[in-house]
Amino acid sequence: MGKKYRQQGPVIRRAGQVQATTTDQRLLQSRGPTDWVHSDPWRVMRIQSEFVEGFGTLAELGPAVSVFGSARTASDNPYYERAVELGAALADAGYAVITGGGPGIMEAANKGAREAGGTSVGLGIELPFEERLNKYVTLGINFRYFFVRKVMFLKYAQGFIVLPGGFGTFDELFEALTLVQTKKVTSFPIVLFGSSYWQGLLDWLEQSVETDGYIGRIDRDLLHVTDDVAEAVAIIVKHGESVERAAQKALREERGN
């Protein structure tokens, strides 16, 4: 994995010369009190509708895993092929595959899931340039708000597999880590795929963040690192089986009382 592979340049074609604003931008821009009184309360209705649409569409999805990684990963990059294999292996294990629905790693994971006969989910996002869900998505939703989309990634997944990526990938990774660390979500495995790519981050977490007392060793242990597709899927499956056993045990104890 030491060789450098080309990245796709602008991954999405721009729609004309003027960059359009997005719903997220308009929500977060600083405005005066008059704008709040006359505009922002109405946005609550739109936000609510996005939650309703997401919950309604994904409610019967079943076991699923969210797969993250760069939209810029070209099809000749080995990580693209690994993502295809991951998507297929997850589908074979009975999991739907959830991605952001874009190109690169997302497309590859969706492709693997679809070609293996599984459910291939794409959760798209409105951006200031033209974008549509990749052709391998079998169940897709487009969101206006990033925070609504993030809820869907977490609520309907039994774990994350994170391949190399940039800021968006880091954002999803650390949000998931924070929720697991604070026990907002439990029994939620997070797998980093591609040890050579993630090693620098892991070293920094150990040598700086943990050494300076900002996290503990137990927090670092929330991350599983592998280069093997079968191992990545096995980690997810093992956690799922553990959760199921714990639930059955709790049910037996409740009935016994």
Q: What stretch of H or E contains 161? A: strand 160-162
How would you label 62-89 residue by residue, b for 16+ Cβ within 10 Å and e otherwise? Answer: ebbbbbbbbbbbbeebebbebbbbbbbb
Q: What is the pLDDT of residues 26-40, one digit of tens each?
A: 666 655 555 544 566
Radius of gyration (C-alpha) of the chain in whole angstroms: 20
Whole-model pTM: value is 0.82
pLDDT value, residue 124: 94
pLDDT value, residue 8: 41
Q: What is the pLDDT of residues 74-109, one digit of tens each?
A: 999 999 999 999 999 999 999 999 999 999 999 999
Residues 6+ apart with CB under 8 A from 139: 57, 58, 61, 96, 119, 120, 121, 122
Q: Which fold has domain 49-256?
A: Rossmann fold (3.40.50)
